């Protein structure tokens, strides 16, 4: 029989029992929608994290405070200090860029507007390490850094937070805490990556941050980027060697600081997301299997209901194969329609969540193709048995069926 006849008769049969067909396909619809929505959401989350990690720049190492462990007991966090930065800077055998990051939120005022913004105390190397372009004004001078001048470089969104234009703020004074700072530069936009918006940050010389704004000497992080031919592991070893000496750690003792390679974190993150996505897809495929059993059930009912039609088709010359194909096509079509509705529903759920959460949109085509194909396979698998029953019907008996 022509494929066209199988398709039209399958459409007819599905249309004839529309409500029943939709209810049958419901589990398939829900399963596919779940796969599409969850896999996309997973993709978005991964993308958001990847963005924020690539904001930090690859090839960048972060040194953060750690804990000492003695006889299985962990001490408090040992802070990193400006002295640690200086010790690293004094190393002349390795060419690298080093910048401290002393970070905290402060109330910032400009005329009558004010906002609570992150303040980062650092040096000029910070901008080159992270590839932040200061395209208006200048970066910090030696004098600013050494003497802890009251100057600030602002992210591109700071002006907006303070209710004004970027141009207006350049070389004007803003108030951080209770004293005023001169804006000497404005950074170009980096774009939001996820957790925080780097464009809302205000950068000040680290001495200024330490002495005037936060009143502390410990810093949150030291960022290091290899400037020469040194590989990340070599740089890592050098950092450990220098900081262990500075922190007076005897051989055999553990580090009281940690060195992060963000590209590793990125990889780990990717693996975690993949595992989660696989798990979600696995759970959703159970729904598709349950849907398949529903389809089989309804197809068996349909075969019984249409016994006379099957008898007639056979009397008119349909072979067993013709009938088999007709019913398998019907089961597959039912599942594919369910799958497509599921894709639309799942995408709608995903888009509404993603736009509400302002996530980057990631629509994995593989998930769409995969789940519709899987639906079709479910139809094939669960359609075979009812279709075989139909094909095997004795035409003489089937014609007399009431």
Partner 1 sequence: MNVIEVKELEKTYYVGDIEVKALRGVTFDIQKSQFSAIMGPSGSGKSTLMHIIGCLDTPSKGEYNLNGENVAKMSDDQLAKIRNKEIGFVFQKFHLLPRNTALENVMLPLKYANIGRLERSEKAKEALAQVGLSDRIDHKPSELSGGQQQRVAIARALVNSPAILFADEPTGNLDSKTGEEVMTLLHKLNNNGQTIVLITHEKDIAVQTQRTIFIRDGKIESDTIN
Give me the residues that bind partner 1 (CB under 8 A), please: 1-2, 5, 12, 16, 308-309, 311-322, 394-396, 399
What are the backbone angles phi and psi of residue 93, rounded to the nearest 5°? -80, -15
Considering the complex, state which of residue 111 and residue 315 has its C-beta at the smaller distance from partner 1. Answer: 315
What is the rounded distance in angstroms from the CA atom of residue 91 to the CA atom of residue 111?
Answer: 45
* Token pair listed for 262: 């963000």
To partner 1, the closest distance from the beta carbon of 11 in angstroms equals 10
To partner 1, the closest distance from the beta carbon of 386 in angstroms equals 19
Structural element, H or E, at residue 87: helix 82-90
Is the alpha carbon torsion for 121, 126, 130, 131 positive or negative? positive
To partner 1, the closest distance from the beta carbon of 33 in angstroms equals 30
To partner 1, the closest distance from the beta carbon of 323 in angstroms equals 10
To partner 1, the closest distance from the beta carbon of 6 in angstroms equals 10
Strand partners, 101: 221
What is the rounded distance in angstroms from the CA atom of residue 252 to the CA atom of residue 263?
Answer: 28
Considering the complex, state which of residue 279 and residue 315 has its C-beta at the smaller distance from partner 1. Answer: 315
CA 296-394-314 angle, 5° bins? 85
Considering the complex, state which of residue 217 and residue 400 has its C-beta at the smaller distance from partner 1. Answer: 400
To partner 1, the closest distance from the beta carbon of 8 in angstroms equals 9
Considering the complex, state which of residue 16 and residue 369 has its C-beta at the smaller distance from partner 1. Answer: 16
Contact present, 28 and 375 (Cβ < 8 Å)? yes
What is the rounded distance in angstroms from the CA atom of residue 202 to the CA atom of residue 211?
Answer: 16
Q: What ranges in 103-221 are assigned the alpha helix state H?
A: 125-130, 142-147, 158-161, 166-169, 206-208
Considering the complex, state which of residue 247 and residue 314 has its C-beta at the smaller distance from partner 1. Answer: 314
Considering the complex, state which of residue 48 and residue 334 has its C-beta at the smaller distance from partner 1. Answer: 334
Contact present, 155 and 177 (Cβ < 8 Å)? no
């Amino acid at each position: 029989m022509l494929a066209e006849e199988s398709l039209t008769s399958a459409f007819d049969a599905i249309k004839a029992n529309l409500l029943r067909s939709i209810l049958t396909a419901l589990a398939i619809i829900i399963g596919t929608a779940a796969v599409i929505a969850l896999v996309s959401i997973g993709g978005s989350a991964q993308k958001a994290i990847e963005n924020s990690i690539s904001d930090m720049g690859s090839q960048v190492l972060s040194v953060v405070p750690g804990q000492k462990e003695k006889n299985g007991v962990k001490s408090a966090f040992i802070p990193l200090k400006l002295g640690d930065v200086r010790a690293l800077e004094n190393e002349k055998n390795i060419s690298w860029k080093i910048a401290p990051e002393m970070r905290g939120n402060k109330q910032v005022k400009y005329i009558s507007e004010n906002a609570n913004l992150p303040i980062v105390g650092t040096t000029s190397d910070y901008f080159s390490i992270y590839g932040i372009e200061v395209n208006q004004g200048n970066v910090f001078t030696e004098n600013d850094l050494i003497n802890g001048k009251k100057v600030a470089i602002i992210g591109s969104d700071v002006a907006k937070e303070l209710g004004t234009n970027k141009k207006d703020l350049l070389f004007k004074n803003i108030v951080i805490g209770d004293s005023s700072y001169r804006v000497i530069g404005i950074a170009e936009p980096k774009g939001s990556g996820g957790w925080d918006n780097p464009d809302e940050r205000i950068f000040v010389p680290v001495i200024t941050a330490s002495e005037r704004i936060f009143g502390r000497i410990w810093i949150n992080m030291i960022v290091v980027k290899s400037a020469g031919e040194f590989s990340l592991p070599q740089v890592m070893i050098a950092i450990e060697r220098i900081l262990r000496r500075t922190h007076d750690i005897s051989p055999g003792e553990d580090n009281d600081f940690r060195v992060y390679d963000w590209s590793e974190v990125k990889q780990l993150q990717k693996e975690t997301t993949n595992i989660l996505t696989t798990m979600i897809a696995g759970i959703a495929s159970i729904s598709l299997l349950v849907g398949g059993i529903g389809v089989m059930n309804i197809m068996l009912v349909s075969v019984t209901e249409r016994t006379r039609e099957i008898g007639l088709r056979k009397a008119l010359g349909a072979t067993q194969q013709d009938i088999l194909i007709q019913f398998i096509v019907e089961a597959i079509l039912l599942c594919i329609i369910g799958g497509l509705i599921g894709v639309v529903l799942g995408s709608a759920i995903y888009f509404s969540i993603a736009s509400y959460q302002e996530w980057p949109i990631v629509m994995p085509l593989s998930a769409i193709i995969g789940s519709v194909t899987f639906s079709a396979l479910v139809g094939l698998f669960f359609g075979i048995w009812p279709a075989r029953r139909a094909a095997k019907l004795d035409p003489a008996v089937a014609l007399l069926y009431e």
